[in-house]
């Protein structure tokens, strides 16, 4: 009888519960398998997005990333023209610039391209930057747009000339020709010999500038691959990549430093986050529970460190297959005259397209460069792509997005950059005439 009851219980268990094993609960943040042929399968959907950042932080990071790419687009033609010569004086000029900022804390001084490049390289090495730059001198946002940009640029030139007795810009350079808020798109002149003691001492080497120049090049290549694979504009790509960065923050939260260094296109957002150095530290402590300084290592792979790839594959089932291989039919950038760009470069960097008849009513950039947002309710109100996300404008007003002077696109204040859609000139929709 005992054996019969045991056997009966065994049959009942197999019949009701043992025939099929229960499937594990699905991960709401897991992306589709790499074998999926849909090119959009690995983009985080609305239900897959991990919200680590506030809307304000996310908008600020996207704005800084956009401005970083604008800076890279402006810098490379000049870097190629100058070769390695600019690196010899860039560090010294940056030290002089920091000293000027220290002595004029109420002024928002405007850096030249070589100074800003060195400042960004310094910032990437977080602990060195915090050691060398005092809290009083540290800007709220290194890429922050100064109000009345032209006036601040002229003030910087005057202060530099007065203190160091040498011109801030190359001889014969007109301010209006190099204005690219928040920087001046030119390399400055050599500092006078014997005046090296007048600047702030910083821990930045020529090799650091060379390594970052290479990283910027790899970043441009990865961003192009992202755009081609997911069929996105640069603005839409940036709006999506910020969610990849939030995923990376979840890995850091779980694994701390062992999460490793991310792929270059994600590191763009990490870098953009650090461009507000004071906020970055406080937000890391709030989001992660600890500070998370960046320290680039020589020879880092643009795909990310081995530990990063291992954690990313395990957590999100994604190996960035779209980053492998060459871009199909990607135009190459050729050397051009100082301060100008080849047609290929303009194709790769639509953010430097100029709208000659428009200016930004927030930062006063004129002519307005990059994406132009024109208010459809106001008679004459335009914003650039950096000022648009944090605009102080009536919420019920709609904006027309003009990527190129001959193109018109329509958006509302309620939509993110990634949600902007085209208007096919329908008869029953609003149409816009670009000036």
Q: Could you give phi then psi for residue 383, rounded to 5 degrees?
A: -130, 150
Residue 274 has what pLDDT? 95
Domains and CATH numbers, the chain: 58-188+204-210 (no CATH), 354-402 (3.30.60.90)
Residue 34 has what pLDDT? 36
- Please compute Rg for the chain using Cα positions: 25
The conformation of residue 205, written as its DSSP 8-state character, comes to -
The CA distance from 142 to 140, in Å, is: 7
Tell how far CA 383 is from the center of its chain: 19
Where the chain has pLDDT below 70, the residues are 1-51, 146, 193-198, 325-352, 363, 386, 389-390, 406-435
Residue 370 has what pLDDT? 72
pLDDT, tens only, 84-95: 778 878 888 999
Cβ–Cβ < 8 Å for 142, 119: yes
Work out the angle between the directed axes of helices 306-316 and 234-255 (0-180°, nearest 10): 100
Cβ–Cβ < 8 Å for 410, 398: yes
Residue 122 has what pLDDT? 93
The CA distance from 395 to 145, in Å, is: 22
What are the structure tokens assigned to 336, written together?
Answer: 């051009």
pLDDT, tens only, 395-429: 888 888 887 776 554 444 433 333 333 333 333 33
DSSP string across 297-334: -TT--TT--HHHHHHHHHHH----GGGSSPPTTPPPP-
Report helix, strand or coil for 388: coil
The CA distance from 243 to 237, in Å, is: 10
Residue 234 has what pLDDT? 87
What are the structure tokens assigned to 11, written together?
Answer: 């049959």
What are the structure tokens assigned to 249, written together?
Answer: 């923050």
């Amino acid at each position: 009888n005992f054996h019969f009851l045991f056997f009966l219980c065994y049959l009942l268990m197999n019949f009701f519960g043992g025939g099929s094993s229960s499937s594990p609960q699905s991960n709401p943040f897991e992306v589709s398998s790499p074998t999926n042929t849909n090119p959009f399968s690995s983009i985080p959907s609305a239900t897959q997005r991990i919200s680590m950042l506030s809307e304000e932080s996310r908008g600020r990071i996207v704005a800084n990333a956009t401005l970083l790419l604008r800076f890279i687009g402006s810098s490379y033609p000049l870097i190629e023209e100058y070769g390695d010569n600019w690196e010899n004086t860039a560090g010294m000029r940056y030290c002089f610039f920091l000293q000027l900022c220290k002595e004029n804390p109420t002024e928002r001084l405007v850096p030249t391209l070589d100074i800003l490049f060195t400042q960004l390289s310094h910032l990437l090495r977080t602990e060195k930057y915090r050691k060398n730059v005092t809290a009083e001198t540290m800007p709220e946002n290194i890429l922050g747009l100064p109000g009345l940009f032209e006036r601040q640029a002229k003030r910087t030139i005057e202060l530099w000339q007065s203190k160091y007795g040498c011109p801030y810009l190359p001889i014969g350079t007109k301010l209006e020709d190099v204005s690219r808020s928040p920087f001046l798109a030119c390399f400055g002149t050599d500092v006078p010999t014997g005046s090296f003691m007048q600047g702030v001492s910083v821990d930045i080497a020529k090799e650091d500038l060379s390594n970052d120049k290479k990283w910027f090049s790899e970043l441009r290549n990865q961003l192009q691959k992202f755009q081609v694979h997911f069929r996105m504009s640069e603005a839409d790509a940036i709006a999506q990549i910020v969610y990849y960065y939030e995923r990376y923050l979840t890995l850091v939260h779980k694994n701390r430093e062992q999460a490793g260094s991310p792929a270059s296109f994600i590191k763009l957002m990490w870098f953009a986050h650090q461009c507000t150095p004071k906020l970055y530290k406080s937000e890391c402590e709030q989001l992660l529970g600890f500070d998370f300084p960046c320290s680039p290592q020589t020879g880092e792979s643009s795909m990310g460190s081995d530990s990063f790839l291992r954690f990313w594959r395990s957590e999100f089932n994604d190996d960035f297959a779209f980053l492998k291989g060459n871009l199909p039919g990607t135009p190459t950038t050729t050397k051009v005259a100082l301060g100008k760009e080849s047609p290929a470069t303009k194709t790769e960097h639509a953010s430097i397209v100029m709208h000659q008849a428009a200016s930004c009513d927030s930062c006063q950039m004129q002519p307005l460069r990059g994406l132009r947002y024109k208010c459809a309710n106001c008679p004459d109100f335009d914003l650039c792509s950096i000022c648009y996300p944090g605009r102080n404008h009536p919420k019920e007003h709609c904006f027309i997005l003009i990527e190129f002077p001959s193109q018109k696109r329509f958006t509302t204040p309620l939509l993110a950059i990634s949600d902007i859609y085209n208007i096919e000139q329908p008869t029953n929709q609003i149409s816009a005439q670009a000036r």
